[in-house]
Amino acid sequence: MKRLTTTLALSLNVILITFSSFGWSKENDYNMTKGVTEISGQVYELHMLIFYICCVIALIVFGVMFYSIFRHRKSKGAVAAHFHESTKVEIIWTVIPIIILVAMAIPATKTLVAMEDTSQSDITVKITGSQWKWHYSYFGEDVEFFSLLATSQKQIDGIEAKGAHYLLEVDNPLVLPVNRKVRFLMTSDDVIHSWWVPDFAVKKDTIPGFINEAWTRIDEPGVYRGQCAELCGRAHGFMPVVVHAMEEEKFDEWLASKKQELALQKAAAQEALSQDLSMDELMSQGESIYTARCAVCHQANGEGIPGAFPAIKGSPIATGDVTEHIDIIVNGRPGTAMQAFSNQLSDKEIGAVITYQRNAWGNDTGDTVQASDVNAFKAQGSAKEEI
């Protein structure tokens, strides 16, 4: 028995020294991140506690097993004991696991309760997932915007070298202040997505027709990256999450400037209704919008993906009635992956991308669609709804 105890103690020391040398108590590439929030720290500590408990259990169980195999091997003439039961042993191996489970359940329950407590928040942000982008709306601030992948198509196609944040960069990151409790309300426009930022220990599904809640309080300024963690279609891997956390004063300044920027955009959109752009201007703007918003499904060459996403090149929509084309872009097609872009693009942008689709890849209809045309179509639709 003394030899067994000595062997187990020596083995435990070796394992602990090995773990320490590889930095198991610290953040590394092989372990989960400690993160930068109160909850992420609790999750990390819980993870490490259970990890160490499992290591000790494994050491004891396998230590006794291998010692018994070696010490009582047949070549030494060992004779197996014959017995039917031991009430004392059965009680021991029932009580000990219960104690271990309770010891793990107490901190786990505290962490889970804390993770679900979204009360007394300072800021509320609604997060809406859709194929394949995120929409952020700051409640009570009249600030909302879409966040799309910013990695260039040339990097994706292997024409250019991949950047440091390949597929983890966006055009409009979510901006949050440090040291304020932020409540997230999460939903989806189409299929199930999952908003995940490892440094916050936040991973919550966004489900059509449902609102899920989560929260965070960031301790350190910085840029934190995540991605959609639920397989949501062909471009699932092109749906990153980027959060820019800044000091409270800088956040307030950003929020004020964002409100001003959005107000200017609305004024510009209203002014665009009285402007008529040339074919060249519409084609140039339309190509940029198509590449950013449409090419992932309909492909850069307009040929789509047979059986999944229809071609625009030579299609009856792009070469037929202009009004029907506007209707599809503005209202989408329910029951398909074709989204409504009425609230995602301005009237000017919708007109430009429709013009591009009707004149690219040999479609050559010669049609131009102005912002005023799109606005008139929307007004007509609103009038029908009122009737």
What are the tokens at 239?
């749906």
Residue 231 is assigned to a structural domain of this protein = yes
The domain boundary, picked from 241, 271, 301, lies at 271
Q: In what order do the strands lie in the sheet with 212-216?
A: 143-147, 133-138, 123-130, 182-188, 212-216
What are the b/e assignments for 165-202, b being 16+ CB within 10 Å? eebbbbebbbbbbbeebbbbbbbbbbbebbbbbbbbbb
Instruction: Looking at the structure, tell me whether residues 257 and 313 fall in a common domain.
Output: no
Q: What is the pTM of this model?
A: 0.78
Domain count along the chain? 3
- Residue numbers of the domain that contains 200: 123-152+167-271
Residue type, 109: T
Instruction: Looking at the structure, tell me whether residues 255 and 279 fall in a common domain.
Output: no
pLDDT digits (tens, 9 = 90+) for 152-196: 888 888 888 998 999 999 999 999 999 999 999 999 988 999 999
Instruction: Looking at the structure, tell me whether residues 281 and 377 fall in a common domain.
Output: yes
Instruction: Looking at the structure, tell me whether residues 219 and 128 fall in a common domain.
Output: yes
The domain boundary, picked from 271, 303, 338, lies at 271
Instruction: Looking at the structure, tell me whether residues 266 and 310 fall in a common domain.
Output: no
User: d(Cα 83, Cα 98) in Å, to the nearest integer?
Assistant: 26
Instruction: Looking at the structure, tell me whether residues 137 and 261 fall in a common domain.
Output: yes
Residue type, 345: L
DSSP 3-state assignment of 243?
Answer: strand
Region for residue 361 given its phi and psi (left: phi exceeds 0; alpha: psi -120 to 50; beta: otherwise) = left
Instruction: Looking at the structure, tell me whether residues 262 and 287 fall in a common domain.
Output: no
Residue type, 241: V
Per-residue pLDDT of the chain (387 residues; tens, 9 = 90+): 555 555 555 555 555 555 554 444 455 678 889 999 999 999 999 999 999 999 999 999 999 999 988 888 878 777 877 877 888 889 998 999 999 999 999 999 999 999 999 999 999 999 999 988 999 999 999 899 999 999 888 888 888 899 899 999 999 999 999 999 999 999 998 899 999 999 999 999 999 999 999 999 999 999 999 999 999 888 899 999 999 999 999 999 999 999 999 888 888 878 877 888 889 988 999 899 998 888 888 988 989 888 888 999 989 998 889 999 999 999 888 878 788 888 888 888 898 999 999 999 989 988 889 888 888 888 886 545 554
User: d(Cα 45, Cα 31) in Å, to the nearest integer?
Assistant: 12
pLDDT value, residue 126 = 97
Instruction: Looking at the structure, tell me whether residues 145 and 187 fall in a common domain.
Output: yes
Residue 24 is assigned to a structural domain of this protein = no
Gyration radius (Cα) of the chain, Å: 30
Residue 110 is assigned to a structural domain of this protein = yes
Q: Name the one residue in this structure whose structure tokens are 């426009």.
A: 189
Residue 160 is assigned to a structural domain of this protein = no
Domain holding 369: CATH number? 1.10.760.10
